[in-house]
Amino acid sequence: MESAVDQHLRCPRTMAKRVADDYQPPFPMYVARADVDLTRVSMGYFGVQFKDATLREAALLALRKIVADFDHENGPGNHDLTFHQDNQGYGNFIVVGYWRDFETYERWCNDASIASWWAAPERLTERLGYFRECVAPDARQFETLYAFQTSFPGVGAVMDRTSGEIQEHGYWGSMRDRFALSQNDPMEANGILRRLEHATAEGTRVVIHSHDNLALIRSGQDWRNAGDAERTLYLDRIEPTLRNGMDFLRDNGEEVGCYSNRYVQSIDIDGNLQDESYNIGHWKSLRHLEAWAESHPTHLRIFGVFFEVIAGIRELRLYHEVSVFDGTHQFYEYINCHPGTGMMRDAA
């Protein structure tokens, strides 16, 4: 049994774990491992938003432009595409990119051809909305968890190897215990979201300044390889309960410290839905996320259903990744997006 915290990231603890040293988890789970040279990864969520269905093709063309820019020599090591319709009726395409180091991301982001496209006046006149949500946790500031050992999605795809079975899972508080930073830092939020708006006759650009220790979770489920019985189990038992919880966070997140929650489905480059989904949740702090997970009825139902059906799960791939960030390593920009998009809803 391994610790989720890799050997080179361990240090003397000043904060206790939530379980005893001889704790035995109820089933095997794994984490992605990185070599010592990984110091800070970058994650970019690049979105195209549209209200009118007649603009769907234009939005797809914009999405393909962003994906094409990923072919740059400093592009991300992994990316994926999603679609969701938000609670204001807008369609949203998102491409998510992962860079193994922050410096490569900066070179990509600051490349003249890429930076000029985002800054161009045309972004304000195309009847589309655009957003960028870019964050960069250091090696101590993110954790992963997988029920499988190969072909990791998300940040796991830019890591170097897989752990053996890890100890820190299957109990409340295990998410925090998988962070190397949790050994000596409570990771508490220390501020509020602040909004800087530049409005013109053509449109509006909004930049959100964030605070330290905002938390981001990506929690996914992939049923592409599931057989008929397991697919039915997921779609009939697990997914409706999961969707109910995700809709609560989307519509009522302010009550529990969730700034933004998107329940998205994977797509191909032509916008066709795939049998994979995940939620993208931004939280005021890890503590707020933990409190919802441990005590709110919407998550307790998800947790309960999962343990009822886990014996029937073989090919369903479940995973998550959670990160916290310094305020200086977060960037949120919204171009002609509706006011409930992303961080805008809760920004002062």
Q: What is the mean pLDDT of residues 232-237?
A: 91
| pLDDT tens sequence across 46-82 | 999 999 999 999 999 999 999 999 999 999 999 999 9
> What would the DSSP string read from start to end of 108-130?
HHH-HHHHHHHHSGGGGSSS-EE
Residue type, 163: S
pLDDT value at 319 more than 80: yes
Question: Which of these is catalytic: 72, 320, 329, 338?
Answer: 320
For residue 88, the model assigns a pLDDT of 96
Q: Please, which residues have CB within 8 angstroms of residue 48's CB and are 6 or more apart in sequence?
A: 59, 62, 63, 66, 92, 93, 94, 128, 129, 130
Percent of the chain with pLDDT over 70: 100
Mean pLDDT for the chain? 95
CA 171 to chain centre: 22
Let me know: does 209 contact 193? Beta carbons within 8 Å.
Answer: yes
pLDDT of residue 222: 96
Question: What digits encode the pLDDT tens for the residues 264-293?
Answer: 999 999 999 999 999 999 999 999 999 999
Q: Are 10 and 168 in contact (CB under 8 A)?
A: no
Across the range 187-203, mean pLDDT stands at 93
Reply yes or no on whether 72 is catalytic: no
Structure confidence by residue, pLDDT tens digits, 24-36: 998 899 999 999 9
Predicted pLDDT of residue 326? 97
